[in-house]
Structure 1
Amino acid sequence: MIARLAGALAETTADAAVIDVGGVGYLVQASSRTLSALPEAGGHVILFTEMQVREDAITLFGFGSAGERDWFRLLTSVQGVGGRVALAILSVLDPAELSRAIAAGDKAMVARANGVGPKLAQRIVMELKDKAGAAIPLGSATSSAPTPAGNTEADAVSALSNLGFRPAEASRAVAAAVEELGDGASLDALVRLALRKASR
């Protein structure tokens, strides 16, 4: 079971990315939200993953946060929701938004995703309403950008994400702050400048 990938981004397509890990390219299906938060080709990324094994295929799905992966697992537990449909839902609703929609029984929000009709949206809301609260703690509902771990830039992106900024917004703001301050900037200075840039 592959639970996580850390490597260089080789390329992206409309619905997937290729992550080079030690010279091996892993094709990872991902939501448009996760793909939009990835760096340029050659940049270092860390993705949480879920592997589905079937008779005719082995598919790897990638996520920018543990919360997104947890929701993917819940969504695919519903009859009629495969991996692609789950990614379509996660492309239009981040984990926090999905949590609120399920808790409120808002099937119209869920039905905004491609491939999700009213009946399937109703089934998703009904089946996951009780599971969602127990399975996903509030903290994990916050999205985080797929970024390098263990450095100041990644910590700054995580800080902005925890403050409610979308992964792509947080990544762009931190990148702009790094460009202005340089690689040796402290985390505090980086977060302060990134916040100013993100709020413009």
Structure 2
Amino acid sequence: MIGKLKGLIDSIFKDHLIIDVGGVGYIVSCSSRTLHILPNIGEAVSLLIETHVREDSISLFGFMDQEEREWFRSLITVKGVGSKLALTILSHLSPSMVASSISIKDKNAFKQISGVGPKLADRIFTELKDKGGNFTSSPKVLNVSNNKTNEIMDDAISALLNLGYNGSESHMVVNNIIQKNQDVTLSELIKLSLKELAK
């Protein structure tokens, strides 16, 4: 089983990338959050890997950190949540947002996610309610080390989701703004994000 891949980025697509490891290209599916913060094509990358083996295929799923991989593993244990939908959820919500949404049964957080209806959302809340608190204690945002910045980023994305904006686009815009200015306040971050999303 493959648990980690380190190599060069050969190409990046909408829902996956190809990592060149010693001349062998591995197709790795990722959340849009992970794909948006990858290094450039031709540069080195290291991803944690979840390997799924079936009779007719071997699928690789990549994550920048352990927290996202753990939530992926937890989500696919819920009946009705396959690997593709789990990545869709993690594309819209950061791991800490998934945890907090499950802890407080925030259905609004899942409204924008295609494939997650009210019944499935209830099933996720019920089956993973004991795991929500386990992950909220150490929230992480990819490429950002400051915990205060992590909280501001999650709050800004949540606000944009509530306003009806797409989760993956919101995360990309917010992440880009924070990368340029990690001292930005929440209100400033939301205003700048709305300006970018309106373009």
Category of TM-score, reference length = shorter chain: 0.7 to 0.9
User: Percentage identity across aligned positions?
Assistant: 41
Can you give the 5+ residue segments of structure 2 that lack an aligned partner in the other structure? 155-170, 193-199
Matched, 1:77 2:77: yes
Matched, 1:118 2:122: no
Change (3 A) 1:171 1:47: farther
- What is the DSSP-based 3-state SS (H/G/I as helix, E as strand, rest coil) of the residue aligned with 1:126? helix
- The residue identity in structure 1 corresponding to 2:8 is A
Q: CA RMSD in A?
A: 2.6
Matched, 1:97 2:97: yes
Change (3 A) 1:161 1:19: farther
Decide whether the 8 Å contact of 1:142 with 1:162 is kept in 2: no
C-alpha distance in structure 1 between counterparts of 2:114 and 2:147, whole Å:
26
Report the Cα offset of residue 73 of structure 1.
0.5
Question: What residue number does 1:159 align with?
Answer: 145
C-alpha distance in structure 2 between counterparts of 1:32 and 1:95, whole Å:
13
Report the Cα offset of residue 133 of structure 1.
2.3
- The TM-score with structure 2 as length reference comes to 0.73
Change (3 A) 1:18 1:121: same
Decide whether the 8 Å contact of 1:108 with 1:118 is kept in 2: no
C-alpha distance in structure 2 between counterparts of 1:20 and 1:162, whole Å:
36
Question: What residue number does 1:17 align with?
Answer: 17
C-alpha distance in structure 2 between counterparts of 1:106 and 1:197, whole Å:
26
- The TM-score with structure 1 as length reference comes to 0.73
Give the total of aligned pairs: 168
Report the Cα offset of residue 163 of structure 1.
3.4
Report the Cα offset of residue 13 of structure 1.
0.8
Decide whether the 8 Å contact of 1:11 with 1:19 is kept in 2: yes
C-alpha distance in structure 2 between counterparts of 1:77 and 1:106, whole Å:
20
* Higher mean C-alpha displacement, 89-98 vs 107-116: 107-116
Question: What residue number does 2:142 align with?
Answer: 144
Decide whether the 8 Å contact of 1:33 with 1:90 is kept in 2: yes
* Structure 1 consecutive aligned stretches of length 4 or more whose deviation exceeds 3 Å: 160-163, 165-174, 194-200
C-alpha distance in structure 2 between counterparts of 1:173 and 1:89, whole Å:
22
Decide whether the 8 Å contact of 1:64 with 1:143 is kept in 2: no
Change (3 A) 1:172 1:4: farther
Matched, 1:53 2:82: no
- The residue identity in structure 2 corresponding to 1:11 is S
